Amino acid sequence: MDLSNLKAPKPNKKNKKRIGRGQGSGYGGHTVGKGHNGQKARSGHKEKFWFEGGQMPLQRRVPKFGFNNPFRTDYEALNVDTLDGFIGLGKLDKKVTISDLRSAGVIGKSDLVKLLGRGKIETKVDIEVHAASKSAKKKIEDAGGSVTIVEN
C-alpha cells in the first residue's frame, strides 16, 4: 500500500429528500410523502405551532387571575436571629453595611435587603439596610444598636 492507491472515504451524508420528482424518487410519486389530501398536503401550508385545529386553544382554556405588578420592589429578607448568628460566627462585625452583607453572602449583588424581626438579638449592632420592620428596629434599638435606612 502506498499513497498512489489511497482514496477519500465515502462522505457520511444522506442525500436530500427530492420530493415531487416522480415515481422513481421513492416518495410516492403523486402524493410525494404528504399523504392524501387535507390541509397539510396543500402547497404553502404553514401552521402556527400553537394551533390546535380549531379546538379551543390551551392558552384560552386556562383561567387567568391575579395581577403581577411590574413596579413591585422585592427585598431579600434578613431576620434578626440570622444577623445575630452571622455576627456570632464572625462573618459580620458590630457595624454592618450593605457591602458587608454582600461579601458575607447574605444577599446577592443587586439585592435590596429588609430587616425582619424574627428571633432575639443580644449583640449591639449598627446596621445599614434598605428597609426594616418596626419589630426588628425595636429589637436592635433595645439591644443598644441602631438601624440606618439607605436609599435604593
Note the pLDDT tens digit of each residue in 87-120: 888 888 889 999 998 998 888 898 999 999 999 9
Ranges of each domain in the chain: 76-149
Distance of CA 148 to the CA centre of its chain: 32
Phi, psi of 77 (to 5 degrees): -80, 135
Please compute, for residue 30, the number of CA atoms within 13 A of its CA located in the half-sphere on the CB side. 2
What local confidence, expressed as pLDDT, does residue 53 receive?
Answer: 87
**What pLDDT, in 10s, does the model give residues 50-87?**
889 889 999 999 999 999 999 999 999 999 999 989 88
Helix (H, G, I), strand (E, B) or coil at 23: helix
- Over residues 122-132, the mean pLDDT reads 92
Alpha-carbon distance of 151 to 112, in angstroms, equals 10
What local confidence, expressed as pLDDT, does residue 12 receive?
Answer: 82
CATH number of the 76-149 domain: 3.100.10.10
Alpha-carbon distance of 62 to 82, in angstroms, equals 41
What is the reported pTM?
0.58
Alpha-carbon distance of 62 to 112, in angstroms, equals 34
**What pLDDT, in 10s, does the model give residues 8-57?**
888 888 888 888 788 887 777 788 888 888 888 888 888 888 889 889 99
